[in-house]
Amino acid sequence: MTSPALIDSADLGLFGPDSVTWQVHADPSMWFGGIRSLYLQALHPRAVAGVVQNSDFQADPLGRLVRTATFVGITTYGTLDQADQAARRVRQVHRSLRARDEAGVQFRIDDPELLLWVHCAEAVSFLSVARRAGFPLTRAHADRYFDEQRTAAALVGLDPDEVPGSVDEMTGYLRNIYPTLRRTENTDVIYHFLHRPPVQGLLALGVRLYEPTIGHLSYSLLPGWARRLYGRRAYPDSVTTVAVRAFRRAALALPGGFRISRKLEPAPVAAVRRLGEWATPSPGRLP
């Protein structure tokens, strides 16, 4: 086993095993958090237009979720070099993309306002769902998590000083952007897609189970104000909490943990293999 004292700091990555991010992002509730973030992102008219006009999500239903999960995994558990390379590829793609809003005005996908919305929607979703699923996070942990996530925001081209770095700052950001958010035709496209992705073959057999569990449960994890903007019914809050906690317990009990694909080695597993067992993510390691 490699001694922590002998490991180069660059090999520890952006956050390192002593961060809140390291512990939270290994939790199986992250899959619900990721899907919840997509529902939330779709309430921003320009952000969702950019997705619908530039993404092949209809032809590759799992592609965006896997790509997002892979990026979060690499930037959390990879080395500094791996994180920088992944971020460079994302920035390159974003620079080349354009979309048009409902008024026909063209805009850049890497508009800082849109990048900030996507970042905040992801960060607040990951943290909120983890707490809802029973991950033992205090207010201090939440503040530290948002502060750590400023480093991730810098990777996609944002100024860390302009990114919410605490619970209060994130709450203020969401309050300020709320008047911008609303349900559009593109929002409905994403809603239906996330409930019933157009998969084929054996995966199609699981859609009927996926829709009321993963799909609608993730939607039901949205805050009340977001569900009201959607105007669609959700499971009762008590049912949602019980269900997501039951899923987390079941996933943690699975040998090797929950994976979206058996062909992909989970990023936390790769990090522990690289660094040693001492780096294993755990709620008990929260700072």
Q: What is the pLDDT of residues 28-67, one digit of tens each?
A: 999 999 999 999 999 999 999 999 998 877 667 667 777 8
Alpha carbon separation from 82 to 14, 27, 86, 271 (Å, rounded): 10, 21, 6, 12
**Residue 197: its pLDDT value, please?**
78
Q: Which of 211, 234, 271, 249 is nearest to 18 (CA)?
A: 271
Structure-derived torsion over alpha carbons of residues 134, 163, 22, 42, reported in degrees to the nearest 10:
60
Region 226-255: mean pLDDT is 95
Q: Which residue type sits at 222?
A: L
Region 232-246: mean pLDDT is 97
Alpha carbon separation from 20 to 42, 150, 246 (Å, rounded): 27, 13, 23
**Residue 211: its pLDDT value, please?**
78
Asked if pLDDT for residue 184 goes beyond 50, the answer is yes
**Residue 56: its pLDDT value, please?**
74
The per-residue pLDDT of the chain, averaged, comes to 90
Region 194-217: mean pLDDT is 73
Q: What is the DSSP string of 210-249?
A: HIIIIIHHHHHTS-HHHHHHHT-----HHHHHHHHHHHHH
**Residue 113: its pLDDT value, please?**
97
- Position 201 confidence tier, pLDDT thresholds 50, 70, 90: low
Asked if pLDDT for residue 202 goes beyond 70, the answer is no
CB-count burial class (<10 Å; 0-12, 13-18, 19+) for 223: middle
Report the predicted TM-score, pTM, of the whole model to 2 decimal places: 0.92
Which helix (H) or strand (E) is 108 found in, with range?
strand 106-108
Asked if pLDDT for residue 262 goes beyond 50, the answer is no
Q: Which residue has the higher pLDDT, 280 or 10?
A: 280
What is the percent of the chain with per-residue pLDDT over 70, rounded to a whole number? Answer: 88
Which of 4-13, 14-23, 79-88, 277-286 shows the lowest per-residue confidence on average (mean pLDDT)? 4-13
**Residue 261: its pLDDT value, please?**
43
CB-count burial class (<10 Å; 0-12, 13-18, 19+) for 204: exposed
Angle at 25 between CA 209 and CA 44, to 5 degrees: 70
DSSP state of 100: E
Q: Which of 153, 74, 150, 76 is nearest to 114 (CA)?
A: 153
Asked if pLDDT for residue 123 goes beyond 90, the answer is yes
